[in-house]
């Protein structure tokens, strides 16, 4: 018996928010290598253009669309432009996010709390809703919402970020139920310590600076403390995160919905 190659995305179009960031870029490479067309959405146009330039190596259609996910208007316009340019969108990676500042709960600033919720909850909602409407209209598809292990176990000094990612997992469970009748699967992905990358460097430096009982004041020591908390004793790579996204979107996951895939190395 011959077996069909798995995780092939030729003929499919995938929309990635936060497409200029570390995980968005790694995921774009993964899908382009598997033959997909891509719609990248991000606030950061220069970085997004750089990613699109790199993706030319795969010879697949790539569109870039400036979009602030906190604006429902921006999101609607970006979806319309992406569909006009690329035909249709089959899969949506709802990935744009902001980590917030690091502070103890009694000192967490209101404005940053609101910013985190605005991007990670309201922004994710806008994309989820636009994705649901488009996929409903074309007869189905799949959505992967980017959560975090911070949405499974509340991390110290990350009050807003943890809350926002718990919300993403909650929205995933409800949306999976609401959208199943339209043949739309909705799953979440929860990475933990991923690197190298902007978020890894930032979090070790900021956890060190908070001066809490949980981590050392030296970022290098914090790195080791964090890695020692993982069963596999190493960081997960950006490619390993992209593999999780590809699995959840693939036909291999055709009966999986409302699920939160923890990419944690056994944290
Ligand atoms: N890297 C990690 O360790 C890690 C772990 C768990 C979860 N995550 C989640 O993965 C996602 C991507 O993280 P990353 O590591 O690639 O970070 P990153 O900072 O490299 O990328 C985030 C991207 O989101 C974009 N963005 C921010 N606000 C936006 C807005 N309002 N509208 C449109 N785009 C906006 C940024 O411009 C950036 O390109 C985030 O949701 C993050 O919370 C990351």
What residue ranges define each of the domains in the chain, with the CATH number in brackets? 13-192+238-258 (3.40.50.720), 193-235 (no CATH)
Q: Would you say the CB of residue 119 lies under 6 angstroms from ligand 1?
A: yes
Q: How many CB atoms lie within 10 A of CB 135?
A: 24
Pocket test for ligand 1, best of 72, 96, 206 (most atoms within 8 A of CB): 96
Q: Would you say the CB of residue 241 lies under 6 angstroms from ligand 1?
A: no
Contact 94, 147 (CB under 8 A): no
Residue 2 confidence (pLDDT): 54
Residue 111 confidence (pLDDT): 98
The encoded tokens of residue 58 equal: 């795969």
Q: What does the mean pLDDT of the chain come to?
A: 97
Longest dimension (CA), the chain: 62
Residue 126 confidence (pLDDT): 99
Instruction: Determine the Cα–Cα distance for residues 188 and 71; give it in Å rounded to an integer.
Output: 22
Per-residue pLDDT of 207-252, as tens digits, reads 999 999 999 999 999 999 999 999 999 999 999 999 999 999 999 9
Q: Is 161 a catalytic residue?
A: yes
User: 1 pLDDT band (50/70/90 cuts)?
Assistant: low
Minimum CA distance residue for ligand 1 atom 40: 97
Per-residue pLDDT of 250-260, as tens digits, reads 999 999 999 99
The encoded tokens of residue 77 equal: 């316009």
Q: Would you say the CB of residue 146 lies under 6 angstroms from ligand 1?
A: yes
pTM attached to this predicted model:
0.98
Atom of ligand 1 nearest to the CA of 48: 39
Instruction: Determine the Cα–Cα distance for residues 122 and 97; give it in Å rounded to an integer.
Output: 11
* H or E element at residue 15: strand 13-17
Contact 102, 209 (CB under 8 A): yes
Q: Would you say the CB of residue 194 lies under 6 angstroms from ligand 1?
A: yes
- Taking the centre of ligand 1 as the mean of its atom positions, its distance from the CA of residue 38, in whole angstroms, is 18
Instruction: Determine the Cα–Cα distance for residues 206 and 25; give it in Å rounded to an integer.
Output: 24
Residue 8 confidence (pLDDT): 82
pLDDT at 123 over 70: yes
Q: Would you say the CB of residue 122 lies under 6 angstroms from ligand 1?
A: no
Mean pLDDT of 183-197: 97
Instruction: Determine the Cα–Cα distance for residues 34 and 60; give it in Å rounded to an integer.
Output: 10
Counting residues of the chain whose pLDDT is more than 90, the rounded percentage is 97
Atom of ligand 1 nearest to the CA of 165: 43
Catalytic residue among 161, 182, 214, 255: 161
Q: Would you say the CB of residue 23 lies under 6 angstroms from ligand 1?
A: yes
Per-residue pLDDT of 46-71, as tens digits, reads 999 999 999 999 999 999 999 999 99
Per-residue pLDDT of 6-60, as tens digits, reads 568 999 999 999 999 999 999 999 999 999 999 999 999 999 999 999 999 999 9
Atom of ligand 1 nearest to the CA of 25: 16
């Amino acid at each position: 018996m011959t077996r069909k190659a798995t995780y092939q995305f030729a003929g499919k179009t995938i929309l990635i928010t936060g497409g200029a960031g570390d995980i968005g870029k790694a995921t774009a490479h993964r899908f382009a290598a598997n033959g997909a067309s891509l719609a990248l959405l991000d606030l950061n146009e220069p970085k997004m253009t750089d990613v699109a330039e790199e993706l030319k190596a795969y010879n697949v259609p790539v569109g870039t669309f400036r979009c602030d996910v906190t604006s429902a208007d921006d999101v609607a316009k970006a979806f319309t432009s992406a569909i006009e340019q690329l035909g249709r969108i089959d899969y949506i990676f709802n990935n744009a996010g902001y980590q917030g500042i690091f502070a103890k709960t009694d000192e967490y600033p209101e404005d940053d709390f609101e910013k985190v919720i605005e991007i990670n909850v309201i922004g994710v909602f806008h994309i989820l809703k636009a994705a649901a409407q488009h996929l409903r209209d074309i007869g189905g598809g799949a959505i992967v919402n980017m959560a975090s292990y911070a949405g499974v176990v509340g991390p110290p000094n990350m009050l807003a970020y943890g809350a926002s990612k718990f919300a993403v997992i909650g929205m995933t469970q409800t949306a999976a139920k609401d959208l199943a009748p339209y043949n739309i699967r909705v799953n979440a992905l929860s990475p933990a310590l991923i690197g190298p990358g902007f978020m890894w460097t930032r979090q070790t430096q900021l956890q060190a600076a908070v001066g809490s009982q949980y981590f050392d004041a030296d970022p290098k020591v914090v790195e080791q403390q964090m890695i020692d908390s993982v069963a596999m004793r190493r960081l997960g790579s950006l490619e390993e995160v992209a593999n999780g996204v590809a699995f959840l979107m693939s036909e291999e996951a055709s009966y999986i919905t409302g699920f939160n895939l923890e990419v944690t190395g056994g944290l």
